[in-house]
């Protein structure tokens, strides 16, 4: 005999939670490629534009059967893709504008059809927008464990599980299989459609297949979770993953994980936590999952170590500290170059007044300078790095004068910025000019110094 608590969970929560989970995974897989291809709005467009297909099916057939929904919405979804291509090609507008025009018109048409048909057909506009996750209870769930090993338990017309769950499962398996089998083609077509075409992958056909998969996923998910959640799940998990990584396979895995976590967390909050914090009847499950996905995206935007606000602030601070340290060792090199005095420079020297104790400590921690209470001097490593810095500075001055045609007295500040420039992988940049002296007559340190 199944404990009452577990049985109550199976009856009221298991099916909607799994349905939301399967839909989230499906949308995250497709959304990963939509985000990479800069077609996130296509998911939004298809999610909106299937509405007239659903409404037309209701009006013509007077039923909410899954077959009628699938046919009507699939026709509308594929028609949306074709209309966007027609508007983009013949209207000569950018893709975003074409999508905006098509889905706005089709969605408005769907709303009108719903309002017209709602008098005669059992159709609730709120269900189209928010879904019916809360109503997917499995009232026929058996209390005996042995009942779950019988096929009739799941397929019976009276006690079987709601059809939205197996529909979501089948679509998830179908789309997962297609993506696994065509991952290489999707990857190449997403990053370089020209290369895909040259390899005879037919980028246009790959794009069409992707759009059809999005239409199928949208149609299969529409009744259970509604258009709002479909849009959120197509974009938010994939966008969150994109902020967290630059590697495609990691991006897809992260997108699926984020979608799974936010769907379960959103459902748990709406169904189990909300009634205890002032919402006795609970709150919209689909809306809460969408909000949770948005919160996950917000956290990624803020805390991503590479592309997030915190990561960018840390990177900017690191660059500022590097530039200050390089300015310090460059100044010490120039002082030593212009003076025959000892290599130890008083920290009270006028040339060093702009450097704080923090800069000295950073340079000392990198073993670039030797500090005493009153003086500072370059180490061997610091002298070598300072010579490279000064070399880049004077090469840039030479380049700006000889190649850009600037006056010698106008190039110092620009060269001072360019001397710190780094490539993405951290390597330095210097112009390929072979000169012994810069425009001011100062010697350019050799590259092997």
Residues 142 and 227 in one domain: yes
Same domain? 328 vs 213: no
pLDDT tens digits, 172-202:
999 999 999 988 888 888 887 777 767 777 7
* The predicted structure's pLDDT at residue 112: 83
250 and 370 both lie in a single domain: no
Residue 345 lies in a domain: yes
Tokens of 303: 């805390």
* 95 is a domain residue: yes
For residues 299 and 328, state if they share a domain.
no
pLDDT of residue 89: 79
Q: What domain range includes position 403?
A: 312-418
Strands 375-378 and 369-371, by their bridges, are antiparallel
* 426 in a structural domain: no
Token pair of 14 as six digits: 């298991």
Q: Report helix, strand or coil for 1.
A: coil
With a cut of 70, which residues of the chain have pLDDT below it? 63-66, 117-131, 157-159, 197, 340-342, 448-449
Does 316 share its domain with 392? yes
Paired tokens of 392: 């880049």
Tokens for 231?
A: 């849009």
CA–CA distances in Å: residue 314 to residues 36, 67, 278, 294, 302:
26, 54, 40, 24, 12
Question: Six-digit token pair at 359?
Answer: 């800069």
* Cβ atoms 122, 64 nearer than 8 A: yes
Last residue of a domain, one of 282, 303, 324: 303
Domain total for the chain? 2
| CB of 396 closer than 8 Å to CB of 419 | yes
Nearest Cα residue to 224 out of 293, 89, 148, 129: 129
In 330-378, the DSSP E strands lie at 345-346, 369-371, 375-378
Give pLDDT, residue 127: 58
239 and 354 both lie in a single domain: no
- Contact 113/52 with Cβ under 8 angstroms? yes
Burial (Cβ within 10 Å: 0-12, 13-18, ≥19) of residue 218? buried
In a domain, 431, yes or no: no
Same domain for 212 and 346, yes or no, is: no
Q: What are phi and psi of 190, to 5 degrees?
A: -75, -40
**88 and 165 belong to one structural domain:** yes
Asked whether residue 405 falls in the same domain as residue 324, the answer is yes
Q: How much is the pLDDT for 25? A: 96
| Predicted local confidence at residue 176, as pLDDT | 94
Q: Are 136 and 162 spatial neighbours (Cβ–Cβ below 8 Å)? A: yes
> What pLDDT, on a 0 to 100 scale, did the predictor assign at position 179?
93
Q: What is the model's pLDDT at position 340?
A: 59
Looking at the domain assignment, is residue 433 inside a domain?
Answer: no
Query: Is 326 found in the same domain as 260?
Result: no
User: Taking the CB of residue 271, how many other CB atoms lie within 10 A of it?
Assistant: 19
For residue 428, the SS3 value is: strand
Helix (H, G, I), strand (E, B) or coil at 371: strand
Q: Determine what percent of the chain falls in helix, strand and coil, rounding each to the nearest 5.
A: 70, 5, 25
Of the residues 277, 303, 329, the one at which a domain ends: 303
What is the distance between the alpha carbons of residues 364 and 357, in angstroms, rounded to a whole number?
10
**Per-residue confidence (pLDDT) for residue 106, from 0 to 100:** 86
**Tokens for 446?**
């050799």
Q: What average pLDDT does the chain have?
A: 84
CA–CA separation, 314 and 363 (whole Å): 18
Domain CATH code at residue 360? 1.10.10.10
* 325 and 283 share one domain: no
In a domain, 440, yes or no: no
- Would you tell me the crossing angle of helices 66-90 and 203-244 to the nearest 10 degrees? 100
Q: Are residues 396 and 287 in the same domain?
A: no
CATH of the domain at 282: 1.10.3470.10
**What pTM was computed for the model?**
0.79
pLDDT tens by residue, 321-347: 999 999 999 999 988 887 755 578 888
- Sign of torsion over alpha carbons 276, 278, 282, 283: negative
């Amino acid at each position: 005999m199944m404990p009452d608590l577990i049985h109550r969970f199976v009856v009221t929560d298991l099916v909607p939670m799994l349905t939301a989970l399967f839909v989230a995974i499906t949308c995250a897989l497709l959304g990963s490629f939509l985000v990479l291809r800069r077609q996130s709005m296509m998911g939004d467009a298809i999610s909106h534009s299937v509405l007239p297909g659903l409404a037309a099916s209701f009006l013509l057939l007077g039923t909410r059967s899954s077959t009628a929904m699938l046919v009507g919405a699939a026709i509308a979804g594929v028609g949306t893709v074709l209309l966007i291509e027609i508007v983009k090609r013949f209207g000569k507008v950018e893709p975003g504008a074409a999508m905006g025009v098509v889905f706005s018109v089709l969605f408005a048409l769907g709303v009108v059809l719903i309002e017209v048909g709602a008098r005669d057909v059992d159709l609730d506009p709120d269900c189209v927008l928010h879904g019916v996750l809360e109503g997917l209870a499995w009232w026929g769930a058996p209390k005996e464990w042995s009942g779950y090993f019988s096929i009739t338990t799941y397929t019976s017309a009276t006690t079987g599980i709601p059809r939205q769950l197996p529909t979501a499962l089948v679509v998830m398996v179908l789309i997962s299989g297609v993506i696994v089998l065509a991952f290489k083609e999707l990857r190449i077509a997403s990053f370089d459609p020209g290369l895909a075409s040259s390899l005879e992958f037919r980028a246009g056909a790959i794009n069409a297949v992707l759009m059809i998969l999005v239409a199928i996923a949208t149609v299969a998910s529409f009744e259970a979770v509604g258009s709002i959640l479909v849009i959120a799940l197509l974009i938010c998990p994939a966008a969150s993953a994109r902020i967290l990584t630059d590697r495609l396979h990691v991006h897809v895995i992260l997108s699926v994980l984020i979608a799974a976590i936010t769907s379960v967390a959103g459902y748990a909050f709406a169904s189990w936590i909300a009634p205890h914090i002032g919402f006795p009847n609970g709150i919209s499950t689909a809306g809460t999952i969408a909000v949770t996905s948005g919160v996950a995206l917000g956290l990624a935007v803020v805390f991503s170590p590479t592309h997030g606000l915190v990561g960018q602030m840390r990177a900017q601070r690191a660059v500022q500290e590097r530039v200050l340290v390089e300015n310090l060792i460059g100044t010490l090199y120039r002082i030593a170059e212009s003076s025959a005095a000892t290599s130890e420079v008083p920290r009270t020297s006028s040339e060093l007044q702009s450097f704080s104790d923090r800069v000295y400590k950073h340079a000392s921690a990198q073993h670039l300078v030797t500090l005493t209470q009153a003086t500072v001097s370059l180490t061997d490593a610091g002298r070598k790095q300072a010579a490279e810095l000064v070399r880049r500075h004077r090469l840039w001055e030479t380049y700006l004068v000889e190649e850009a045609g600037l006056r010698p007295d106008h190039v110092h500040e620009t060269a001072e910025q360019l001397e710190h420039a780094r490539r993405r992988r951290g390597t330095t940049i210097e112009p390929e000019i072979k000169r012994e002296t810069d425009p001011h007559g100062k010697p350019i340190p050799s590259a092997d110094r």
